[in-house]
Structure 1
Amino acid sequence: MTRLSAITRGLAVLTILFPFSAIVAGPVQKPSLEIPPSALKHRDDVKNIFRESYNAYRKFAFGHDDLLPVSRRPLDDRNGWGASIVDGMATMKIMGLDDFFNEAVDFVGKIDFSESQTSDTVSIFETTIRYLGGLLSAFELSGKQHNILVEKAKQLTDKMAFAWATKDQTIPWGFIDFTTNTPTIANTVIAEAGTLDLEWSRLSIYTGNDTYRRLAEGSVRTIAGLTDPLPGLAAQIIKPATNEFADNNITWGGGSDSYFEYLIKYARLTNTDDNLFADTWHTAVDSSIKFLLRKSTVGNHLYLAETDNYGKIVHASSHLACFHGGNWILGGKLLNNKTIVNFGLELAEACWNTYASTETGIGPENFEFISDDSFQSSDTIPNRQQREFYEKHGFFITVASYILRPEVLESNFYAWRVTGDTKYLDRAASAIDSFKKFLQVDSGGFSGINDVDDANIQRGDRIDKTESFWYAEVLKYLYLTFDDPDHISLDKYVFNTEAQPFEAPPAKPVYGSGSLLPPKGPYVMKTGNVPLPAISPIPTLSSGA
């Protein structure tokens, strides 16, 4: 029996033993969780890293989007509105860096969000998660004292709303020209169209204008209502003009990731009585377990595979995709489904292995693996060096760079807050050491690196950029890992995909209907060259084991 067959057979048994029913959500965080005394030193280390890297930004790039820390120059690649400032505001407040925060509020009051300061083209997705999310989260965390943050959020979003170009359009264009208020790219991806509802619904609350919520939520409803390549698993590219998928690619990685992420988070943040969001997420996870979960032939690591445009399984993953462990842990807790939580912990374990296996202790951008499901053989590994690496570590690197991404540490944070296992603290501490050793440069800033498996890093081996999500995500997740668990508790806050926390109401007793979505198929997916039969009825997961 293959490992895949074992997983599938085990789920079938669990389904018989634990049929679906309405289930009561428990707390997300482990009750009475406490940090050990040693955690405070690591928390202070993270705060110092933020202070040092942000001071480098202030010295060489203040007011611009990003710092080039090696060449000590600014870069404006997010429309010149000061992305690092706005994106980092919530972290400043959480860390108690009020001098930085107050300076940022003053800066925000002078931004003209009605026009781009650089390229006329504006990304609706990136602008929403970094700027809109940053402004609204900072407003909440500061005790809702700075109304200018909401005023600027409204100014910005009123321009982004032109992404819905026609009266009956439900899927927004991914990019628009802020000068002409017209779309610039014909298609969009589901991560762009489906990662707006947390932020836009929040703006509706603070402005009293429900249009923002209706636009963003309507986009998610449209995507969720289409016939997917697999139940709940939307294809990656969608046409706003026709509301049709333009491909059949399935991935929890870039281009699709945060659409799936927000389904369960929107249900939790809004406590909506509409089960569509939680049930679509639940169905997506169910399909992922049935069709995408794979164990590596070395190390027995659990990964989520992808499919290509022809429905063929691809044994590939990425740093971006490694948010999925934390998302499954969160959603599994909300659904009180231990099966999903345990799979989430296994996914987080495999992603951490990509850090533990490299010379720098930092994980790569992209990687692949070998599974025993007969659809990929070991001779597909490109070269001997990658084959030898795989035989040691259970994955091989396909893109070796690190651009200051947060996802592995994000899932590690969720795993710690839910289980209380101190191994997750040890891992976060290891990451801090690696960052200080390999990423910091003479300017005080922190840079990306081209090869995480080469500890001999010279100037030419660096990626000369500090992404704004270094301040917003990486350092926030690390800080909160070592902070008092009651501070920004996962039972009181929901994080957007840029790690901007939003205040959540008390949890509902139940999220979702306890059942999967009814079939919209027939669904046909190819694994290798063998088409699977249409799925009807949809097999279910255990709700208890």
Structure 2
Amino acid sequence: MRSTTLVALGLCSCALAGVTVQEPGLKVPAQYQSNRAAAEKIFTTSYNAYKEFAFGHDELLPISKTSEDDLGGWGASIVDAMTTMLVMGLDDLFNEALNFSSHIDFSVIPAGGTISVFETTIRFVGGLLSAFELSGQQHPILVAKAKQVADKMAFAWIGDNVLPYGHIDFSDNSPDIAVTNIAEAGTLSLEWFKLSKFTGNATYGDLTMKSVEFIANLPAPLPGLAARFIDPGTGQFDGAYVGWGGGSDSYFEYLLKYARLTNTNNNIFIDTWKTAIDSSIHTLLKTSTVGNHAYLADQDDQGLIRHVGSHLACFYAGNWLLGGKLLNNQTIINIALQLNDGCWNTYAGTTTGIGPEGFAFISSDGNFTGDTITADEIAFYNTHGFYITSSDYIQRPEGKHLGRLLESNFYAWRVTGDTKYLDRAASAIASFNKFLPPPDHVGFASLNDVNNATAGFIDVMESFWYENFERKDITYSQFENRFAEVLKYLYLTFDDPSHISLDNYVFNTECHPFKAPPALNSYAGSGKLIPQKPFNAHKTGSPLPAISPR
């Protein structure tokens, strides 16, 4: 019978003498230290190519040596890279980026007029405020710029509506009327909390905190596991799809991280996160019949388990490791390490050592993914314990791609001190250098097929490594930044663990570090799981309220 108590999961409220995350006294062995310089070289090579062909634009297209503006045209790569420059000690590059960022005019209407509230928050607001902290709070212009763009995005909250719309038209401050997802609506709290701290205006943090509380209090398909899609107009979930992948991922991530960054006494954040972990262990946690690889499946609108995976979802191992340490829960830590190994296997199983965009599994309780499994996929599965459903590698770290996996690998190293995670990060550096440079070595490109190194490149080396996913007639984009995320996690894996320690910093979903207060003795919350609430899947189609500015 499914447990509804903390005892079954070992979720005690044991008092700790100052909870810590990192393995005490952790040092990077001498034989691994050259990898830090190797990660820095990949960054400087990539950024210098961006400077030569695309400076001031959002991203470089390395094959055609041109630029593209997908995030407002305000120089996203520059702002996203500033914290990486500071972490790596690249002062000259930072000063150049600081000068550029100081002159961004967010009142200039971006191409197409519309921006993503989520993407602009995690990259611009997060990047500017983190750079302000990491540079010793010497440059208040960075706070002023974060405030300028946030003041425009605040129009995403209409009237008394506690849920923001996902996109804002900067030409008239009108929100885009469309179904959004919980990642877009629930991944703003860290950045806007910091903005409140540095401006002295609590409104920013209150807006985003109330949005997360609202989602957490809705009846969910599974306890603690909010449905992926949500309608800001009705305040109801759209469907009942549940998973830890794109569209849901960073909502769950920020439940835990907000509790740690703020040390809030509001238990809804940590209680919801713990309940989501409990539900996931009992319903979504699966193992492959070949290799016994652990993974978290999805549950679709019909309540069917889909045995699918993506590298956006591979952040969950790092998130569970952080939470397991904060809660002093070895069960969560052990499962997280198994999940991390399962994700890593999808990289080790390709000819390039770089993981595919999408993959799937066969478990003892099924192989349903919504698609027919081919004979070639079965053959691949029988060898590797997973099979590829989308073979391209579109740079994200996170695998938002390898980034998300490198993020979890970084947490695993810092939490356990096991050097196998250093070996894995080193192999990622080797694969990057071997397979991602295009023929003329202008930066790094994306691969058409991670299992066939001769299949050619995709012309993209974005500030963001992106994933698009479609539902009905709506396309959502989630962008991941190599400069901010992938290379920073690689660098920090081989850096002195006392520098940007997990005991002193909380990372936003784009790997921008925020200084955290001293840790509490316990992050047990109320000590209870959130009980199941009656849930009825809502389908959109009801009239939306008239738009009026806040």
- TM (normalized to structure 1)? 0.91
Measured in 1, the distance between the counterparts of 2:143 and 2:256 equals 25
Q: Cα distance, 1:377 vs. partner?
A: 6.5
* TM-superposed deviation, 1:26: 2.8
**Aligned partner letter, 2:437:** Q
Residue 36 of structure 2 aligns to a residue whose secondary structure is: helix
Q: Does residue 309 of structure 1 match 2:301? A: yes
Distance 2:249 2:230 in 1: 14
1:501 has 2:513 as partner: yes
What is the CA–CA distance in structure 1 between the aligned matches of 2:177 and 2:23, rounded to whole Å? 45
Residue of structure 2 aligned with 1:105, choices 72, 90, 98: 98
- Give 1:533's aligned residue: none
Code of the aligned partner of 1:503: K
- SS of residue matched to 1:350: helix
Shift of residue 523, structure 1, vs aligned partner: 5.8
Q: Is 1:476 aligned to 2:488, yes or no?
A: yes
Cα offset for 1:397? 0.6
Q: Describe the superposition over 1:247-293 as per-residue Cα deviations: whole angstroms up to 9, x where unpaired.
A: 10001000010000000000000011111111110000110001000
Deviates more, 1:109-118 or 1:375-384: 375-384
* Residues 1:41 and 2:53 aligned together: no
Greater shift in the superposed pair: 386-395 or 21-30 = 21-30
**Partner Cα separation in structure 2 for residue 265 and residue 254 of structure 1:** 18
- Which residue identity does 1:90 align to in structure 2? T
- Is 1:57 the equivalent of 2:50? yes
Query: 1:278, 1:19 → 2: CA distance?
Result: 12
**One of 180, 202, 206 as aligned partner of 2:198:** 206
Residue 460 of structure 2 corresponds to 464
Residue type matched to 2:251 in 1? Y
> What is the RMSD of the two structures over their aligned residues, measured on CA atoms?
2.0
Residues 23 and 335 in structure 1, CA contact (< 8 A), matched pair in contact too: no
Q: Hey, what's the Cα distance between the residues in 2 that align with 1:186 and 1:462?
A: 30
Q: Compared with structure 1, are the counterparts of its residues 14 and 57 closer, same or farther at alpha carbon in structure 2 (3 Å cutoff)?
A: same
Counterpart among 388, 391, 396 of residue 387 in structure 2: 396
Paired with 1:17 and 1:155, the residues of 2 have a C-alpha distance of 45
Q: Which residue number corresponds to residue 538 of structure 1?
A: none
Residue 384 of structure 1 deviates from its aligned partner by 1.7
Pick the aligned partner of 1:361 from 334, 353, 372. Answer: 353
- In structure 1, the residue matched to 2:472 is none
**Structure 1 counterpart of 2:252, one-letter code:** F
AA in 1 matched with 2:404? E
Shift of residue 383, structure 1, vs aligned partner: 1.5
- Asked if the contact 2:10/2:329 (under 8 Å) is kept, the reply is no
The answer to whether the Cα contact below 8 Å between 1:116 and 1:122 also exists between their aligned partners in 2 is no
Pairing 1:77–2:70 present: yes
Does residue 234 of structure 1 match 2:231? no
Aligned residues: 513
Q: Which amino acid aligns with 1:304?
A: L
- Secondary structure in 1 matching 2:389: strand
Offset at 1:240? 1.1
Q: Distance in 2 between matches of 1:524 and 1:121?
A: 32
Aligned to 1:387, which of 378, 391, 399? Answer: 378
1:309-365, CA deviations, whole angstroms, 9 ceiling, x for partnerless residues? Answer: 111110001010000000000011101111111111111110000110000000111
**SS of the counterpart of 1:287?**
helix
> Against the structure 1 CA distance between its residues 412 and 19, is the aligned structure 2 distance closer, same or farther, given a 3 Å change threshold?
closer
The CA deviation at 1:518 is 3.5
**Residues 371-393 of structure 1: CA deviation (Å, up to 9, x unaligned):** 111x4379975222211110011
User: Is the partner of 2:359 in helix, strand or coil?
Assistant: strand
Structure 2 match to 1:370: 362
Please tell me the residue identity of whatever aligns with 2:421.
Y
Which letter maps to 2:128?
L
**Secondary structure of residue in 2 paired with 1:86:** helix
Cα distance change, pair 443–399 in 1 and its aligned pair in 2 (3 A): same
Secondary structure in 1 aligned to 2:168? strand
Going from structure 1 to structure 2, the CA distance change for 1:245 and 1:378 (only over 3 Å counts) comes to closer
Conserved 8 A contact 1:139-1:145: yes
- C-alpha spacing 1:498/1:377, structure 2 compared with 1 (3 Å): closer
Where does residue 419 of structure 1 map in the other structure?
Answer: 416
The Cα shift of 1:20 comes to: 3.6
Partner AA of 1:96 in structure 2? G
Instruction: Determine if the alignment matches structure 1 residue 431 to structure 2 residue 428.
Output: yes
Distance in 2 of aligned mates of 1:85 and 1:17? 44
Hey, what does 2:530 align to over in structure 1? Answer: 518
Residue 147 of structure 2 aligns with an amino acid whose one-letter code is: K
User: Which residue is 1:186 aligned to?
Assistant: 178
Kept in 2, the 8 Å contact 1:193–1:220? The answer is: yes
Contact 2:32/2:494 (8 A) holds in 1: yes
Aligned CA distance change for structure 1 residues 378 and 114 (closer, same or farther; 3 Å):
closer
* Deviation digits for residues 124-160 of structure 1 (CA, Å, limit 9, x no counterpart): 0000001110000111000011111000000000000
Aligned to 2:331: 339
Give the Cα–Cα distance (whole angstroms) in 1 for the partners of residues 6 and 72 of structure 2.
Answer: 51
Equivalent AA in structure 2 for residue 477 of structure 1: Y
Task: Extract structure 1 runs of 4+ deviating beyond 4 A.
Answer: 11-14, 16-19, 377-381
Q: Is the 8 A contact 1:404 1:474 kept in 2?
A: no
Amino acid at match of 1:447: A
2-structure distance, mates of 1:449, 1:180: 39
Cα distance in 1 for residues equivalent to 2:180 and 2:9? 42
1:152 is matched with: 145
Match status 1:95 vs 2:92: no
- Consecutive unaligned residues of structure 2, counting only runs of 5 or more, are 397-402, 465-480, 538-550
Q: Which moved more, 1:123-132 or 1:443-452?
A: 443-452
- Whole-Å Cα distance in 1 between the matches of residues 101 and 371 of structure 2? 51
> What SS does structure 2 have at the residue aligned with 1:491?
coil
1:13–1:153 CA distance, 2 compared to 1 (3 A): closer
Query: What does residue 4 of structure 1 align with?
Result: none
- Is this contact kept in 2: 1:80–1:116, CA < 8 A? no
Letter in 2 for 1:419: T
Q: Residues 41-81 of structure 1: CA distance to partner in whole angstroms, max 9, x if unpaired? A: 10000111111110000000000000001110011111100
C-alpha distance in structure 2 between counterparts of 1:270 and 1:40, whole Å? 34
CA deviation after TM superposition for structure 1 residue 117, in Å: 2.9
Q: Which residue of structure 2 lines up, in the alignment, with residue 528 of structure 1?
A: none
Cα drift, residue 524 of structure 1 = 9.0
Shift of 1:457: 4.3
- Tell me how far apart the structure 2 counterparts of residues 103 and 148 of structure 1 sit (CA, whole Å): 14
Mean Cα deviation higher: 467-476 or 515-524: 515-524
Q: Displacement of 1:185 after TM fit?
A: 2.9
Alignment pair present for 1:253 and 2:265 = no
Contact 1:445 1:466 in 2 (8 A): no
**Aligned equivalents of 1:17, 1:184: Cα separation in 2:** 42
Q: Residue type of the partner of 1:260? A: F
Partner residue, 1:124 = 117
1:379/1:326 Cα in 2 relative to 1: closer, same or farther (>3 Å)? Answer: closer
- Identity of matched residues, %: 59
Aligned partners of 2:370, 2:235: CA distance in 1, in Å? 40
Q: Helix, strand or coil: the match of 2:30? A: coil
2:275 aligns with 283
Give, as a single letter, the amino acid of the residue that structure 1 aligns with 2:176: T
Quickly say closer, same or farther: Cα 1:519–1:455, change in 2 above 3 A.
same
Shift of 1:521: 1.9
Structure 1 counterpart of 2:511, one-letter code: A
Q: Distance in 1 between matches of 2:248 and 2:369?
A: 28
Name the amino acid aligned to 2:67: P
